[in-house]
Homo-oligomer: A and B are copies of this chain.
Amino acid sequence: MAVKGNLVVGQSGGPTAVINQSLVGVVQEARKHGLIERIFGARNGVEGVLREDFVDLGAEPDHNLEAVAQTPSAALGSCRFKPKEEDCRRIFDIFTKHNVRYFFYIGGNDSALSAGIINKIAQEANYDLVVFHVPKTIDNDLLVTDHCPGYGSAAKYVAQCFMGNDTDNRSLPGIKIDICMGRNAGWLTAASALARVCPGDGPHLIYLPERAYSLKGILEDIDASYQKNKRVLVALSEGVADSDGYLFLESDKVRAELKEMGMEAIIDGFEAQGKIEDLSGGAKKDAFGHTQLSGSGALADFLSAAVKIHLFKKYGKKARVRADTLGYAQRSMSGVVSASDAAEGREAGRAAVISAISGEQSGSICFRRLESRFGKYHCEPFRAPLEDVSGVNFPKGVKQYRPMEDKYIASSGNDVTPEFIEWVRPLVGPLPVKAVLGNMPVK
């Protein structure tokens, strides 16, 4: 059922360090097949399609494609745009005009959903279009697949960052809180556990969106760990929520806790933040209805304030508390790339084209681990039905993302299991050396 025609590839959502590997994989594979006549890149994803803003990727020299593949973030530009039915109809008009019969969309959950919507409406409209979702996300929360391109490199950045933050915290002991990306799933935050190399190494506490927490519980955990280890390194996901599922900064329960603990000053800070939002055009929600979590240090500063006040009230002594929000470097750090992640990013783009050429009308590329021979990690790509990943036909209430499995989360709810470490290690690959002195006593 594969037809002759042109191909459009786009990138969408938050970038990753290897999203261009997938772009280059699509282009290089597409060049091999006669069915695909020309290869267009849509700038800024679906937005570029709607603007008819295309670039000629077929004309891009190979050496530059290889350089772009090593460059983090979406080389075509990205977008956060959820197409409606009328957008799709316009897309088909534009595609007809340019004889586009292949559409490849590189992105995460929202992009899979966009691809799913376009595919569904194309089918309903009898528009003959091959639609593939090519996975990328640092969050690793796509359905079906073992893991997503983009995750391994982000996890490597987080691991190296925590390795350094842990030795830093050893040097100047205190409480250090690092906020990691991951709205719905804790995969990236959990990768911080790779920083543990020597006895006593942090992170000592890991908080994930898959579990519900109270502020008081977290403060008590930190206090107990601090008393025991004389220092604490905390990994906390930006998606951490209360037992009603509300993010800490939006939680009435957390506000009530703050009042109960005499920390109203923190609430005043929230109120000021609310006023700032009003003055700058309203709350930060994107087209998919998500609150902006990144690019702000609010959660880190809030927790740091709460820990400081809690410990001062309890012990009458100032504690050294620092908090960092790891920020955009998690998804786009230059030069910190997992080799297997880069290879799989490329492979995902190629596999999508091969699957399309072989006659599949739509799909999403996933990875599965092969039986480990001699203990060596090996994964292969496969095509999953686009609907299974995009969730386009899911009944209301069924989640379109994949949280961490229970087996990967410690029963305490504030750590990961050894199974998780085993699962994640090959995705990240070798990490830098980390060592401590023998601290031999002077005789």
| Interface-facing stretch out of A83-91, A213-221, A269-277, A403-411 | A269-277
Asked whether, in the complex, the Cβ of A434 is within 8 Å of the Cβ of B334, the reply is: yes
Given A269-B269, A317-B281, does the pair A329, B59 have CB atoms closer than 8 Å? no
Which residues between 1 and 43 of chain A lie within 8 Å of chain B, taking CB atoms?
A: 11, 14-15, 17, 38, 40-41, 43
Which residues between 355 and 390 of chain A lie within 8 Å of chain B, taking CB atoms?
A: none
How many Å lie between the Cα of A266 and that of B279 in the bound state? 10
Nearest CB on B from A330, distance (A):
9
Nearest CB on B from A413, distance (A):
26
Residues of chain B lying within 8 A (CB to CB) of residue A173: 77
Residues of chain B lying within 8 A (CB to CB) of residue A76: 437
* A73 touches B (CB below 8 Å): yes
* A80 touches B (CB below 8 Å): yes
Residues of chain B lying within 8 A (CB to CB) of residue A164: 17, 72-73, 328-329, 332-334
Given A72-B164, A268-B272, A271-B268, does the pair A439, B279 have CB atoms closer than 8 Å? no
Contact with B along A253-290 (1 / 0, CB 8 A): 00000000011011011011101101111100000000
Given A60-B437, A322-B294, does the pair A432, B304 have CB atoms closer than 8 Å? no
Given A54-B442, A172-B14, A176-B328, does the pair A167, B296 have CB atoms closer than 8 Å? no
Contact with B along A289-311 (1 / 0, CB 8 A): 00000111110110011001101
How many copies of the shown chain assemble into the complex?
Answer: 2
Asked whether, in the complex, the Cβ of A328 is within 8 Å of the Cβ of B168, the reply is: yes
Asked whether, in the complex, the Cβ of A442 is within 8 Å of the Cβ of B55, the reply is: yes
Asked whether, in the complex, the Cβ of A325 is within 8 Å of the Cβ of B322, the reply is: no
Residues of chain B lying within 8 A (CB to CB) of residue A77: 170-173
A440 CB contact (under 8 Å) in B15, B56, B312, B437: B56
Which residues between 68 and 116 of chain A lie within 8 Å of chain B, taking CB atoms?
A: 68, 70-80, 98
Residues of chain B lying within 8 A (CB to CB) of residue A436: 68, 71, 75
* A441 touches B (CB below 8 Å): yes
Given A171-B73, A332-B167, does the pair A265, B281 have CB atoms closer than 8 Å? no
* A237 touches B (CB below 8 Å): no
Asked whether, in the complex, the Cβ of B56 is within 8 Å of the Cβ of A165, the reply is: no
Nearest CB on B from A285, distance (A):
11
Asked whether, in the complex, the Cβ of A305 is within 8 Å of the Cβ of B280, the reply is: yes
* A189 touches B (CB below 8 Å): no
Nearest CB on B from A259, distance (A):
13
Residues of chain B lying within 8 A (CB to CB) of residue A319: 280-281
Given A322-B296, A324-B295, does the pair A172, B442 have CB atoms closer than 8 Å? no
Nearest CB on B from A256, distance (A):
18
Asked whether, in the complex, the Cβ of B329 is within 8 Å of the Cβ of A295, the reply is: no
How many Å lie between the Cα of A176 and that of B332 in the bound state? 13
A297 CB contact (under 8 Å) in B61, B271, B301, B328: B301
How many Å lie between the Cα of A432 and that of B317 in the bound state? 45
How many Å lie between the Cα of A384 and that of B250 in the bound state? 56
Residues of chain B lying within 8 A (CB to CB) of residue A60: 437-438, 440
A322 CB contact (under 8 Å) in B43, B80, B295, B433: B295
How many Å lie between the Cα of A165 and that of B165 in the bound state? 21
Asked whether, in the complex, the Cβ of A336 is within 8 Å of the Cβ of B160, the reply is: yes
A304 CB contact (under 8 Å) in B78, B296, B437: B296
A433 CB contact (under 8 Å) in B71, B281, B282, B308: B71
Nearest CB on B from A61, distance (A):
8
How many Å lie between the Cα of A329 and that of B329 in the bound state? 10
Residue from A71, A80, A279, A280 with most neighbouring chain B CB atoms (10 Å): A280
* A435 touches B (CB below 8 Å): yes
Asked whether, in the complex, the Cβ of A309 is within 8 Å of the Cβ of B276, the reply is: yes
Nearest CB on B from A319, distance (A):
8
Instruction: A56-B441, A56-B442, A282-B318 are known; give 12 further A-B pairs, CB within 8 A.
Output: A15-B171, A15-B172, A60-B440, A64-B438, A77-B170, A168-B332, A279-B312, A294-B322, A295-B322, A297-B298, A324-B329, A325-B327
